Amino acid sequence: LLTQDQRQQLEVVLVRPRNPLNIGAAARAMANFGLNNLTVVAPWEPVWREAKSAVGAPEILANARLTQTLAEAVAHSTLVLGTGTSTTRKAEQPVLSLPDLPPYIDGQLTQQGRIAIVFGPEKHGLTREDLALCHAMIEVPTDSVQPSMNLGQAVAVCLYEAVIHCGISDISSLPHSTPATAERLDLLTSLIDEVMEAARYSPASMRQSNLHDLRLMLRRFAPNEPDTRRLLGLFRRILWRLNNLTKTS
């Protein structure tokens, strides 16, 4: 069971939700499990208005943060967990079965990290591009005949596992290292992208695809903040050198 403080380290992100009832249900599940940090990414305006104005709408909706992109929504997060099923799409990142989640959550809690659990839109879930911003994909081990869960129910089940089955009583004795936020990883990604460009690493037609693979790889590495600082320093130096050499040549 997560403590009240630990629950503050956990956030929910809904990406482009389409059904006001599901938004309400997601918020209610958050209230049931004592969470209150909700971010909604690019909701359709009438849908969002209807969800917020519904009779008995949870207070969480009034205080929700709105962003235009998922990158912005998780910028300050240190562990970003996308949800989905690997039946619909071959995952490009580690896939975690929901009951195996606790050690990962607990690991982040010990490092004072911020965890975002990200849910995609009702019909098709998170896109490949959305998932490239996630460290891992969580999969609820549903039946192959009916694998796809209703959004409100998926949120309830994932939060139940994360809040009730996770949590460690004494974290003070564990080793501590500051994890890197998603924003820092994005900074590193952009910098490496610039370096690849400057180094003429790949033809222009491959740039988007290389960037995508880079995002996935960095999240798999899960560098901590000191690692990230070191890598940023290294690639800044490389970029400076490349540009300098290009100018003088």
Residue 31 touching a second copy (CB under 8 A): yes
Of the pair 23, 42, the CB lying nearest a second copy is at 23
Residue 182 near residue 57 (C-beta atoms within 8 A): no
Q: How far is the CB of 61 from a second copy (least distance, A)?
A: 13
Q: How far is the CB of 28 from a second copy (least distance, A)?
A: 6
Residue 17 touching a second copy (CB under 8 A): no
Q: What angle do CA 127, 128, 132 make, to 5 degrees?
A: 115
Residue 138 touching a second copy (CB under 8 A): no
Residue 145 touching a second copy (CB under 8 A): yes
Q: What angle do CA 59, 82, 62 make, to 5 degrees?
A: 10
For residue 121, what are the CA distances in angstroms to 19, 159, 191, 212? 9, 17, 31, 21
Q: What angle do CA 171, 172, 176 make, to 5 degrees?
A: 85
Through-space distance between the first and last CA atoms of the chain, rounded to whole angstroms = 62
Q: How far is the CB of 102 from a second copy (least distance, A)?
A: 11
Residue 167 near residue 114 (C-beta atoms within 8 A): no
Of 39-47, 105-113, 137-145, 184-192, the segment contacting a second copy by CB under 8 A is 137-145
Of the pair 33, 235, the CB lying nearest a second copy is at 33
Of the pair 164, 199, the CB lying nearest a second copy is at 164
Backbone φ and ψ for 139, nearest 5 degrees, come out as -120, 125
Number of neighbours of residue 9 by Cβ within 10 angstroms: 20
Residue 11 touching a second copy (CB under 8 A): no
Of the pair 56, 175, the CB lying nearest a second copy is at 56
Of 74-82, 134-142, 171-179, 208-216, the segment contacting a second copy by CB under 8 A is 134-142
Residues engaged in binding a second copy (CB under 8 A): 1, 21, 25, 28-29, 31-34, 58, 98-99, 140-143, 145-150, 152-154, 156-157, 160-161, 164-165
